[in-house]
Structure 1
Amino acid sequence: MNVHELNMKFLQIRNYKPENVNELLDFTKRAYIYNDICISVYRKLVRELEAQGAEIPESF
Structure 2
Amino acid sequence: MNVHELSMRFLQIRNYNHETVNELLDFTKKAYIQDDICINVYRQLVRELEAQGAEVPESF
TM-score range, shorter chain: over 0.9
Task: Give the TM-score normalised by structure 2.
Answer: 0.99
Query: Aligned Cα RMSD in Å?
Result: 0.2
Identity of aligned residues (%): 82
Partner of 2:21: 21
Task: Give the TM-score normalised by structure 1.
Answer: 0.99
Q: Structure 1: which 4+ aligned runs deviate by more than 3 Å? A: none
Partner of 1:48: 48
Number of equivalences: 60
Ranges in structure 2 where 5+ consecutive residues have no aligned partner: none
